Amino acid sequence: MSTQHPSNTSIIIVLPHGRPVRQELYERIRAVLCEIVPGMYSGYGYTLEQLCGPDLWAEFSRGQRIRAGHCASHLAKTGRVPLVRVTPPNVYPTRYRRK
């Protein structure tokens, strides 16, 4: 008799500059951003922490927060969420506004 164990594997997405992130995190950030955009004030720049909210943000480790930022940046840059970056590159925390 064989015993099957659930797979602990995750799908990894490699973002530009070789940044690996779990697909689950990427999709979670995309869903949160798509949900929050309609309620955003026009012309105001939001940090990812503000967009995610305190409960979700508290779930993330420091490393996950950094990877979540990579996800948000990629999602905005590729048009997968209706956001644009308003802070220059290498200025943190990054801020986003509605398109």
- Ordered by start, the domain boundaries in the chain are 19-98
Q: Residue 9 pLDDT > 90, yes or no?
A: no
**Which is higher by pLDDT, 6 or 1?**
6
pLDDT category at 7 given cuts 50, 70, 90 is: low
Residues contacting residue 76 through CB under 8 Å, at least 6 positions apart:
83, 84, 85, 96
pLDDT category at 52 given cuts 50, 70, 90 is: very high
Sheet holding 46-47, edge to edge: 46-47, 95-98, 83-85
pTM score, whole prediction: 0.86
**Which is higher by pLDDT, 24 or 10?**
24
Please name the fold of domain 19-98.
Arc Repressor Mutant, subunit A (1.10.10)
- What is the percentage of the chain residues whose pLDDT exceeds 90? 78
